[in-house]
A = this chain, B = another copy of it.
Amino acid sequence: MSRSSEHDKQPRNGITDKREAILRAATKVFADKGYFNSKVADIAKEAGIADGTVYLYFKSKEEILHSIFNRAMEEFISESREEIEKIEKVEDRLRKIAELHLEKLGADREKAVVFQVELRGSTKFMEEFSATGFASYLDIIRKTIEEGQNQGVFRKDMHPITCAKILFGALDEMVTNWILSKNSYPLAPMANEVLKIFFGGIYEK
């Protein structure tokens, strides 16, 4: 089994394997039926393990959902940061961020559903999430915009954090719409559309 390819940090490790399997199974089940309508037994069955085994890896059903968010977010941020930091021009950097955002979620419909739907379905989750993963992400955008302002590329009459939220909100809406549209179109190209407005506005020049 060349399973080591996925994560060289924890290779050939039974514990990690089963944890992964549960997380993957839960993502599918949550995406299909929603967090509250999913049974731990469904997840166990999907993962091919016994119900009780779930509790050897997670303290509760809720913790599974948390783990899905955190792991995906960490993964996304660490992977993105690398790619983004190399980029010189702030516009290109924002473009990369937008592209990655839509590419990653557009590549895994189930994960996207969990992010767009389940994550939003509880103030509790949202608060926790917005204090951690989301904050980091928004911060990356904010800093880029700030840098653009300092470079004189971006307008200075706006709070960079507000700009960041606007960009995020627009991208987020693209994802949500994509999920709800049954006959799925490719999501990634929408990045360019969002950026056309975000960069240049809607006015005819």
Contact = CB atoms under 8 A, between A and B. Distances in A.
Contact of A154 (B170, B176, B177, B204): B204
A190 interface: yes
Interface in A131-176: 145, 148, 152-159, 162-163, 165-166, 168-174, 176
Given A155-B205, A158-B196, A170-B169, A113 B123 contact: yes
A203 B196 contact: no
Nearest to A154: B202
B197 A166 contact: yes
Given A169-B172, A169-B173, A202 B198 contact: yes
A24 to B, nearest CB: 19
A148 B163 CA distance: 24
Copies in the complex: 4
A116 B172 CA distance: 13
Nearest to A173: B169
Interface residues on A, range: 35 or more
A149 to B, nearest CB: 8
A150 to B, nearest CB: 11
Contact of A200 (B123, B124, B148, B201): B201
5 contacts: A117-B122, A117-B123, A162-B190, A170-B173, A199-B201
Interface of A: 31, 34-36, 113, 116-118, 120-124, 126-127, 130, 145, 148, 152-159, 162-163, 165-166, 168-174, 176-177, 179-180, 190, 193-194, 196-205
